Amino acid sequence: MKGVILAGGMGERLFPITRSASKQLLPVYDKPMIFYPLCALMRAGAREVLVIVRPGELERFRTLLDDGSQWGMDIRYATQDAANGIAEAPLIAAPFLDDEPFVLALGDNIFCGDGFDTSLAEAGDAPSKAAILVKQVADAGHYGVVEFDGKGRVVGIIEKPTSPPSDYAVTGMYFYDASAVEIARGLSPSGRGELEITDINNAYLEAGDLSVVVLPDDVSWLDMGTPDGLLEAAQLVSAEQDRIGERIGVPEHIALRNGWIDEAQLEKVAAAYGDNDYGRYLQTLIQGQ
């Protein structure tokens, strides 16, 4: 399965911070923001990943992520020339996807918790053509919201409703088959001038081809695209790392666990970081501490 990270957009919710740099390159505690969605894709098994960035930012992302070979991956790049919405991502990614299923991750979302891998497996193994991850939250109206009928069946998804029909928000990770590209081609811009990811999800739902995976209580999800979200995410990462005794959002760790690199390759990456906090942490992985 391939992966796509949407790291475009202007990051207007974070102005003036993002006037000079993409938000996905901002630090979130001890790592750049994009490491977290990248690691989510790696945990889902995506070894080939396309990173979609805004114009003028490609080389910055390439400097950080390179071609992915250091993690046993194949990372490529494309640009989103204007803020045309999340649902433009499958259209931009179409040549890369080559009619294969994929996972789309938003570049400003973070997931962590013991049950996350189980939820990823459930979504990836779903018998439907598409699957989404949803989370019960207090501020669901800021996101796409799942609507249920009286029997608890999903009957619709509403984008940023004033009066949310439930408190289950659609998170920024979507599992699609190849038909997502054709669905996206048939969309018209919404009232705010964007191609809405909710419209893709509803198209699958109406066809009976959408699975909804509810993230358990032990899985945290945050949108890092606001100042408060950035702060909360940094605090979450710090607390989670203290709780489990290891770091999260470390591509080298997941690549090693997935068998994409061996300890010799990891040692080479660690040496390139030098004698600093991150490099020393990678050395502990080699030593099995």
In the chain, where the domains are located: 2-258, 262-289
Tens-digit pLDDT profile for the chain (289 aa)? 899 999 987 667 888 777 778 899 999 999 999 999 999 999 999 999 999 999 999 999 999 999 999 999 999 999 999 889 999 999 999 999 999 999 999 999 999 999 999 999 999 999 999 999 999 999 899 999 999 988 888 999 999 999 999 999 999 999 999 999 999 999 999 988 899 999 999 999 999 999 999 999 999 999 998 899 999 999 999 999 999 999 999 999 999 999 999 999 999 999 999 889 999 999 999 876 4
**Fold of the domain spanning 2-258:** Spore Coat Polysaccharide Biosynthesis Protein SpsA; Chain A (3.90.550)
Measured between alpha carbons, how far is residue 218 from residues 83, 240, 241 in Å?
A: 33, 11, 14
Beta bridge partners of 146: 157
Give the global pTM: 0.95
pLDDT of residue 11: 66
Alpha-carbon gap, residue 28 to 40, rounded angstroms: 15
- No. of helices (H) and no. of strands (E), the chain: 10, 13
pLDDT of residue 289: 45
| CA-wise closest residue to 49 among 7, 21, 111 | 7
Environment class of 192 (CB within 10 Å of its CB; exposed 0-12, middle 13-18, buried 19+): exposed
pLDDT of residue 115: 95
